[in-house]
Structure formats: C-alpha cells, structure tokens
Structure 1
Amino acid sequence: MNSQGAYYLQLALRALQRNPVLTALMVLALAVGIGTCMTTLTVLHVLSGDPLPGRSADLYYPQIDPRDALSYRPGEEPMGQVTWIDGMNLLDAHRADRQALMTGGSVAVQSPRSGVDPFFEDARATTAEFFPMFGVPFRYGHGWDAADDAARARVAVISDALNRRVFGGGDSVGKVLRLDGAAFRVAGVLGDWHPDPHFYDLDLGSYAEPEGVYLPLSTSQDLKMDHEGSVDCWGNGGGGTRPAHNAPCVWLQFWVQLDSPAKVAAYKQFLVNYSAQQKSLGRFQRPPNVRLRSLMQWLSYNQVVPDDVRMQAWLALGFLLVCLVNTVGLLLAKFLRRSSEIGVRRALGASRRAIFTQLLIESGLVGLAGGVLGLLLTLLGLWAVRQQPSNYARLAHLDPAMLLATFGLALAGSLLAGALPAWRACLIPPALQLKAQ
C-alpha cells in the first residue's frame, strides 16, 4: 500500500472509531445478512455439487420404455429403471466403454469377532465394472471381475467402517464374512468414498450413505437375497421384494460410461434399435422411447436439491438485500453528518475522487468486519443445520470456496452499499459548509 492509501486507511479507522455505536450497528446489520445468506447458499452449494468430479461427464443413465400400450401417451417419459431381462440384455451387448447393472438391499452380517452381535447392513448387488467406472478407491484389495459375476462367486467388497466393526480394521482381504448365513470371501476394503448425492440409486434416498457391502448381482439372485427400493410393475406383474426375472417390473439401475460424443450418439441409437427389436419380438408394445442423460442431467431431472432449500436461499438473498439497504441508510447518515469536515477538506484542495476513495475504504473496513462476524454466524448456522433430522444435514460444512465467497460477498456488499452515500457526500458544495462554520 502506498503512502496515500495508508493515509486514507488511517482516516477511515479514525472515522469509524469516532462513533463506535453506529459502526457496530453497520457491522452487525451486514454480518447478520451475510451469515443468513451464506448458511443457505452453502447448503445449496453442497447439495447441488458434482458427486464425481472429473468423471461425471462420461457417465450416462439409459432409459427405455418396456410397458404395455395401456394409457400410452406420445412423448411420455420412459421408465426410470430397467427390468431384469432388459438389464441383462443391455449388459451382455457390451456397447459401452464400461457398464454396471445394480440394485440396493440389505444383508444380515455375522462378525467372526466374539461379542459382536449380528446386524443388518445396507448392501449393493452390482456387476464388476461398478468400481472402475465410478472410480471407487480401495484401501485394501480390489473388486471382483467378470468371471466372478459369471460364476456367481461369493466374494464381497466392504466399506472401511464395516471393516473396523467386523474385523477391527487392518487388511481383511481373504477373510470370511457371513452374509445372510452364507460365507463370503472379502475381496477388497473401500477407501474414503462418499459420493453426494447418492446418484447411482436415487430411489434409496438422494443423500443416502454409501452401502457397507458390495457383492455380485448374480450371487445375490442365486441366494435369493431381498431387494430394497422401488418396484414398478404393469400388466400382471407381481412386484414384491424380489420380483421374478420374467416379471413385467422395473427394479434395477443401469449405468454406462461413454468416453466421447460419438459414442454417446451411437449408444442412444443402439437403445432405439434395441427398443424396436423388442417391439418386433412382442415384448415391447410402445414405439421406441429412450433417454440418455448424463449424470448431472439425471440429477437435475430428478430435482435432487429439495425445493425448501432453494426457497430458503432466495429468502436469504432477499434478507441480505434488506440488510444492505439498512447499511446504505446508516452510511448515508454517517457521511452527511461529516459534511463540514468534507467541505473543509474540499476547500483545502482535496478532490472529489480523494474524498470518494476515503469514504469507500471506510465502507470496505465495515465489510471486512462484517465478513468476520458473518463467518462466525455462518458456522453457527451450519452447525444448527447439522442438528436437523434431514438426510442431507450431515453435508452442511463450509468448504474453501464458500469461505472465500463469504468475505467476497461481505466486501462487495459493503462497497456497493457505500458507493451511493460516498458519492452523495462528495457532491456537497464546500462553500455552503464554509459559510455555516
């Protein structure tokens, strides 16, 4: 900072200290607005984030429409899941770079450690490419392969939390874990993997915790493990917790990885051709109706960010605007009370630009102080959010980007609020103030 800037800063500090009550009111008004606004914006930021940065652009969720012709309407949205037959057909076609068919459930876990009672754990029955496609990190071991899928191998991947609970931590690869009474060999232990939202199966909750157990889909069907999640049937579909493989019911999720726009276009055409083929075979009754949304498009379509969070964000922005208007009024009153001082400085040769700069620096100091206090209020607000029973409450934490945004918003808001009062004060004719002295 040059000598002139230091001089303006010194004048601004003295001016703020001259009326501490008014200064405190301005800082408090700005801090409350910043704290309220940043609390809601932070929650909105974490809920609308990319669950797989760097990978999401290549991940797609195919949709086809296998329903009967009853109540058919052209252009209607296709089903959100796939049947067993269609899921296996799409999987066996191998038209994507990677692909995974899956469903959610729960299993009874028996620990080999004494003193640990059996308990239920969320599980994901899926196919081998789930882990490389989603970039799932491993602390120990690895996932299974396509041969294990085909052989209905009794292998499992477990989370680090389950590994600590069942085996006491450490490398448990190769150890035996009993799931629903059957013996499984641990193939791998996951590292830190918490994708939010729970994008790959939104039916279990948009912000559900990742599963503790992962096992081959073929094995889960072989052992007749129960399915958890939505089941949508039509015609004579039976539904239930474990739909029959030939039942007209959708209950599985299917994801693909496509590494180029050309592959995306080719895969969408493949879905159209597949639907037409199934219609010619008599399985499908409706004309081909497909969608191929990217991961982020799928989240947007399903509106995973709760409406109340968006509404709260808009209300908080409105409240911040009210606080800024109040700050404008306080700054205007403060600057106009110093008309005589400003008039004398103008008569002694100070330019309007110099006066405006000094008053704007004064406003900026109010903003910095309001930003510090607003940050504390934001942290308090996020702590209050984490105490709520909502399934997304645990995500309410301030990341570095939102930390910088807090100070940036406070500084920008204070400078914006101070610009009009500072300019108004600069327009006071110095002659009038000199006559009043």
Structure 2
Amino acid sequence: MFAYYLQLGLRSLKRNPVLTALMVMAIAFGVAASMITWSVFRVVSGNPIPWKSSQLYNVQVDDRGPQYDDPPNEPPEALNYTDAVALMQAHKAPHQTLLYDIGPSVLPQNPNDLPITAYGYATSADFFTMFDVPFQYGSPWTNADDDAHASVAVISNELNKRLFGGANSVGRDVTLAMHTYRIVGVTNHWDPKPRYYDAYDGMEFYPDPPQVFIVFNRAIDLRVGMTGRNNCGGPPMHFSSDEEWLHRECAWIPFWAALPTQADAQQYKTFLVAYAAEQQRAGRFHWAPNVRLRNVTEWMAYKKVVPSESRISLFVSIGFFIICLVNTIGLLLAKFMRRSSEIGVRRALGATRREVYAQFLMEAAAVGLAGGVLGLLLTVAGMQGVGLLFEPDVARLAHIDVSLLVTTLVVAVLTTVVAAFYPTWRAAQVQPAWQLKSN
C-alpha cells in the first residue's frame, strides 16, 4: 500500500496544477531561506571542540583595577607577561599554555622567491595537546624545549607545501624573522571555527588557519613582535624599551588551563584568588582579587562570538518559513476538500480513516519533496549572495555540503507532512453517506 499511496501522491502533483505550484514554491522559498541562514549559523555557533570544551578554561586576572574594567567588574580578557609567566611557573593545572600572535617573515628555500609572511603563535608545548592539534609529520616540541628556550618550530601543512613541496620537512631548518628554527612537526589542516583559543584578538574569530608556531620563551628572548591586540588600559603610553613594556600591566597573552573535573576547576580558581590576594599584599594590586575561569562554551558566550545578525537572520527566516507553511495548510485544505466525493466513495467501499490519513499524508510528502528539490536549487543560488547579509569573514565560512542538502530535503518533507495533519484530519472526517446522497 505504501508504494500505491506514493504513486497516488506523485500523480496528485498533476491535479490542480496552480494550487500545487503555489504550495511547491511556498515550501521551496521558505526552506531555502532557512537553510541559507542556517548554513551560517551552524558554523559560527557550533562547539569547536565538543569532546573537551568543558575541560579547557580561559584564565583572567585583573591586573589594572576596576577603573579600567570594561565591561564593569570584568578583568582584562588576557594576562600580562608577569602574571602569565607566574602562573606557568606555578603549574597548578595538569596542562597549561599561553600564547600571543606573531607574523614573522619567512625566507623561501628558493633564493629567487620573495619572502612571505606567515601568521601564527608563540606558545608552549601543551598547546598542541590541549587543543588536539593533528600532525602530518613529526610531533610537538617538548616541555624541555620550553625550558631550554629552544629554536624549534611547528609549521602547517599549507606552509610546508609552499616551502618544501609537501615533503616531510621534520629536521630541516626554516628562517623566520631572520632567525633559524629547526622544524619538529608539520600539522595537518587544523582550523577550528570560531577560533576560541584566541578570541581576545579583537573580532577576528574566523581568520585563516595559523601557519607557524614557535616556543614562547624563545620568542620573548628574540623580541619577536606581536601582531595581535595589546591593551595597557587608559591612554597610549610611551615605553623607552621592549623590556620596560614587557613588565608593564599590559594585557596581551591569552592563558588556558586544562582542568579535567569541576573539582579541579574550583581548586584552580581558589589558587587564582590566592595569587591575586598575594599580589595585593605585595602592593602590586590595590583592589580585591578579581579573577574569572570560563570553559570554552562559557568563554564564547561571554565574547559574543556568534554574530547577532546571524541569529536575527535565522529567526526571521524561520518566521518566514512558518508563514509559508501556514499558507501551505490553507492550500492543502482546499486541495483535499475538493475531493470530498472521492473520499466518500473510498470510505463507502471500506477504506478506514487510517487509510485516508496514509493516502493524503503521502500526497503531502510528495508536495514537500517537490518543494525540497526546488528549495535545493534556490539554496545553491542563494548561497552566492550570503556576503550581502554577513561580514566577509563570516560569509566565507558558509558552504554547501551533503549534510546541508540532506537537511533541506528532510526539513521540506517533514514540515509539509506536519502541516498536512489538519487538512488530512478534515478530509478523514468526511461522511460517506452525505457525499453519496449529494453526488
């Protein structure tokens, strides 16, 4: 009977072609609008590391006082050099890392080629373990390399292709900002969106993947310049030397701690409060301890990583889709009730209400499938104009994949079937005797 009802449903598309065309277009436009905005929203609002987002914590310590807190009562979103190094040396977390943005020039292997700029991070060995960075060749450097201020580097597979043609470059040298580093690892493509571990750097939540990583301590020794955000609080200040700037209360180093359990997180926060209180007693801080410890999802919510326009666009498109479905309900009701005599004859010949439900819901599913196919075409076309609604950095993340195509068809069919329940119920209530007497 399923195949029979499916055949009837497909044949019903030819009945009342005007009504059918209106329903198909309403569903197609509604589902296309929803899927286009959903393609953006799912990227910017997804959990970038769901398997351990509750175990990774961003660390904040107020080193400037409440007069500079923005928002009020919130400490800076990154640490200064003094606090970052102190927390690293305390080592109160099983794994911890610190980082800052760099953009060194890279000398190509071919002397006839021009240097290029590779953006990445000065960080520590635990960075790769904490954030599950995959490797194509080699491995991260070690904690001993951190302590030794070693001249080692990890590069991305994209940079490896440009410099070495994609070959295994582990053990070879690369020149970054006129200093030589030994390559110890090459990462596979790794580009979590949004870039939660460096959300401090302005609004650049969706930049290009990092290309190079070097040892934080070595970068400090060589005064490798930072390319990210630097907030010293108050008006711009002049520093006579890099050393003076390094030890001022300027926030520029994001700090993360891996804490497996809630008990570990509570214990670490207690340590942060004690550390801030110690700085207060030493005369460095003149305010009560003000610290924050937020896991990945809490940190992204605090930073408002999801653009407001993506959320608003999604709600608007869903509302438009609902309006389309309401219109579809009316059109289905008109389509089904025009066949009251047919329904009456079927019921008189022994068809049950359940069989009437099955037939007309299958017809609705056929209409939804047709609307979904047209919706796919409109979605593909609409994806070309995503940049008109969203910022370029966000718009370029939206893409068409198999899951989006399948979701479009499934949503179109299921929502149409749900919308058809009331018209089908009305059709199933037709009284055979009345139809036979009047017809």
Q: What TM-score range do you get, normalising by the shorter chain?
A: over 0.9
TM norm structure 1: 0.92
Aligned counterparts of 2:9 and 2:69: Cα–Cα separation in 1: 71
Q: Does 1:344 align with 2:345?
A: yes
Where does residue 415 of structure 1 map in the other structure?
A: 417
CA distance in 1, matches of 2:406, 2:248: 54
**Is this contact kept in 1: 2:66–2:72, CA < 8 A?**
no
Structure 2 portions without partners, runs of 5+: none
Matched, 1:89 2:86: yes
- Determine if the alignment matches structure 1 residue 367 to structure 2 residue 364: no
Question: Structure 1 stretch 304-313 or stretch 381-390: which is displaced more?
Answer: 381-390
Report whether the alignment pairs 1:11 with 2:4.
no
Cα distance change on mapping 1:369 and 1:72 into 2, 3 Å: closer
Q: Deviations over 1:274-316 (max 9, x none)?
A: 1111111111111111111111111111111111111110011
Q: 1:48 to 1:399 in 2, by over 3 A?
A: farther
Give 2:427's match in structure 1, choosing from 425, 428, 435: 425
> Matches of residues 39-188 of structure 1 in structure 2 within 5 Å?
39-68=36-65, 70=67, 76-188=73-185
Aligned-partner Cα distance in 1 for 2:234–2:307: 33
User: Higher mean Cα deviation, 332-341 or 377-386?
Assistant: 377-386
Question: Residue in 2 aligned with 1:358?
Answer: 359
**How big is the shift at 1:90?**
0.4
Stretch deviating more after TM superposition (247-256 or 365-374)? 365-374
| Conserved? CA contact 1:236–1:248, under 8 Å | no
Amino acid aligned to 2:412: A
1:28-75 Cα offsets, whole Å, 9 max, x none, are 221111111011112111111121232322111011111135467997
- The Cα shift of 1:414 comes to 0.6
CA RMSD in angstroms, aligned pairs only: 2.4
Contact 1:65 1:286 in 2 (8 A): no
Q: 1:231 is paired with a residue of what secondary structure?
A: coil
Matches within 5 A, 1:244-283: 244-283=245-284
Instruction: Name the CA distance, whole Å, in 1 between partners of 2:171 and 2:237.
Output: 39
Match of 1:228 in 2: 227
The 3 A distance-change label for structure 1 pair 288 and 400 is: farther
Residue type matched to 2:434 in 1? L
- Give the letter for the 2:428 counterpart: C
Asked if 2 retains the 8 angstrom alpha-carbon contact of 1:198 and 1:209, the reply is no
Q: How does 1:328-343 map to 2 (within 5 A)?
A: 328-343=329-344
* Deviation of 1:409 (Å): 1.6
Q: Is the 8 A contact 1:158 1:213 kept in 2?
A: yes
Aligned length: 434
Q: Deviations over 1:351-400 (max 9, x none)?
A: 33322221111111111222233233323333443797611233212455
Q: Distance in 1 between matches of 2:209 and 2:8?
A: 56
How far, CA to CA, are the matches of 1:200 and 1:7 in structure 2?
A: 56
Instruction: Give the match's secondary structure for 2:167.
Output: coil
What residue in structure 2 maps to residue 213 of structure 1? 212
Aligned equivalents of 1:251, 1:57: Cα separation in 2: 24
Q: Secondary structure in 2 aligned to 1:66? A: coil
Contact 1:64 1:290 in 2 (8 A): yes
Counterpart of 1:436 (choices 403, 419, 438) is 438
Task: Note the alpha carbon deviations across 1:229-261, whole angstroms, 9 max, x for none.
Answer: 222213798378967221111111101111122
State the shift of 1:139 in Å: 1.1
TM-score, with normalisation over the residues of structure 2?
0.92
The 1:162/1:239 distance shift into structure 2, 3 A limit, reads farther
C-alpha change, 1:264 and 1:237, in structure 2 (3 Å) is farther
1:395 aligns with one of 390, 394, 397: 397
Query: Percent of aligned positions with the same letter in both sequences?
Result: 44
- Does the 8 Å CA contact 2:69/2:76 hold for their aligned counterparts? no
Distance 1:398 1:434 in 2: 52
CA distance in 1: counterparts of 2:69 and 2:78, whole angstroms: 18
Give the distance between the partners of 1:21 and 1:69, measured in 2 at CA: 67
Distance 1:323 1:69, change over 3 A: closer
Contact kept, 8 Å, 1:238 with 1:247, in 2: the verdict is no
Give the letter aligned to residue 280 of structure 1: R
8 Å CA contact 1:237, 1:248 repeated in 2 = no
Q: Which residue of 1 aligns with 2:190?
A: 193
1:307 equivalenced with 2:304 (yes/no): no
Letter in 2 for 1:153: A
How far does residue 147 in structure 1 lie from its aligned partner after superposition? 2.5
Distance, in Å, in 2 between the alignment partners of 1:236 and 1:384 is: 41
The answer to whether the aligner puts 1:294 opposite 2:288 as a matched pair is no
Structure 2 CA distance for aligned equivalents of residues 220 and 87 of structure 1: 15
